[in-house]
Amino acid sequence: MLNILAVTHAWRFTHFVDRGEKTASPEGLSPAQRAWVTLTGVTVPRPENRRFPVDVGLRAAESGVGNVATWTIEGAGRGTVLLLHGYGGSKSDNLDEARVFHDLEYTTVLVDFPGSGDSRGNVTTLGWQEAEVVRALAVEMDGPIVLFGKSMGAAAILRAVGGLGASADALVLENPYDRLVTTVAHRFEAMGLPGQPGAALLTFWGGALLGYNGFAMDPVHFAPAVRAPTLLLHGEHDPRLKLTEARTIEAALAGSAELVVFPGAGHAGLYAADPGLWRASVSQFLAGVPSVAPE
């Protein structure tokens, strides 16, 4: 019975639907709704782009590689920033951050992972195959290269650089998870359920359904091979990705690392939580990386 439920949950969590109302966060569900979701799994509509570069005063060229769609916003020649969204998101989620990087004179490339926005498909692998997208796109970018990602996007960057050998001059990682099985456990806990064995079952079946080992999606394991200077941004009260887990990643990184904690913030975008702190943290960090700093 547990395996049947796990397969159902894993399928629904990794396959976006064309129609339907997105299941609310566990904290927003009544006890009866939590019980129903426990039996049936979540509903996650296919992510769409609901904002556009013009909304933040920018002009973009639409482009892409294979089944991956991007917006490219030309900068003043300081380098290129690749911006990666989180689970259930799209490239439009990173427009405010792209505005900041553009003001810092970078070309920005905003990415829709497969299954999201203008890219093809309806499946997410929660960072595993997304890491391969990051590596493929980074090869095409004019350097120096900065990789920026939120949550799943940040985890994908760690695998791309630390596991697949992608090259980057600096990383900016917002709310990365340390292990896939850990963040899945936190979702069970938010439902008022024990993290295990449910998290292990979902991690196993999610990977099995999509052709990879879910337990190998382990960003803290990839971190010791990451030598690029790294800025970690994390919400103080993130219920999905604990601050202690961010500190574990920080300690494991081979290169220089800095962790900035956003007071009172949760798992939502940290720019929205404190634009001033976000802008100051990123600009100061990049100014201290010789290969990407202004001349």
Q: What is the pLDDT of residue 245?
A: 94
Question: Does residue 15 belong to any structural domain of this protein?
Answer: yes
Q: What is the pLDDT of residues 69-114, one digit of tens each?
A: 999 999 988 999 999 999 999 999 999 999 999 999 999 999 999 9
Place 36 in a pLDDT band, splitting at 50, 70 and 90.
Answer: confident
Q: What is the mean pLDDT of the chain?
A: 93
Q: What is the pLDDT of residue 1?
A: 60
If asked whether residues 66 and 12 sit together in one domain, one would say no
161-165, 195-199, 212-216, 221-225: segment of lowest average pLDDT:
195-199
Place 41 in a pLDDT band, splitting at 50, 70 and 90.
Answer: confident
Q: What is the pLDDT of residue 294?
A: 62
If asked whether residues 246 and 144 sit together in one domain, one would say yes
- Give the angle 121-124-130 at the CA atoms, nearest 5°: 100
Is the pLDDT assigned to residue 264 strictly greater than 70? Answer: yes
What is the extent of the structural domain holding 15?
A: 1-45+188-211
Query: Total structural domains in the chain?
Result: 2
Question: Does residue 258 belong to any structural domain of this protein?
Answer: yes
Mean pLDDT confidence for 104-125 = 96
58-62, 173-177, 263-267: segment of lowest average pLDDT:
263-267
SS3 34: helix
Contact between 235 and 246 (Cβ < 8 Å): no
CA–CA dist 238, 236 (Å, integer): 6
CA nearest to 149, candidates 136, 158, 138: 158
If asked whether residues 196 and 275 sit together in one domain, one would say no
Which neighbouring-strand residues pair with 262?
A: 235
Q: What is the pLDDT of residue 19?
A: 81
135-139, 172-176, 290-294: segment of lowest average pLDDT:
290-294
Is the pLDDT assigned to residue 30 strictly greater than 90? Answer: no
Q: What is the CATH number of the domain that holds 66?
A: 3.40.50.1820
If asked whether residues 242 and 156 sit together in one domain, one would say yes
Measured between alpha carbons, how far is residue 186 from residues 89, 149, 198 in Å? 19, 20, 11
If asked whether residues 166 and 83 sit together in one domain, one would say yes
Q: What is the pLDDT of residues 213-226, one digit of tens each?
A: 999 999 999 999 99
If asked whether residues 86 and 204 sit together in one domain, one would say no
If asked whether residues 37 and 93 sit together in one domain, one would say no
Question: Does residue 295 belong to any structural domain of this protein?
Answer: no
If asked whether residues 68 and 163 sit together in one domain, one would say yes
Query: Could you say which DSSP state residue 238 is in?
Result: -
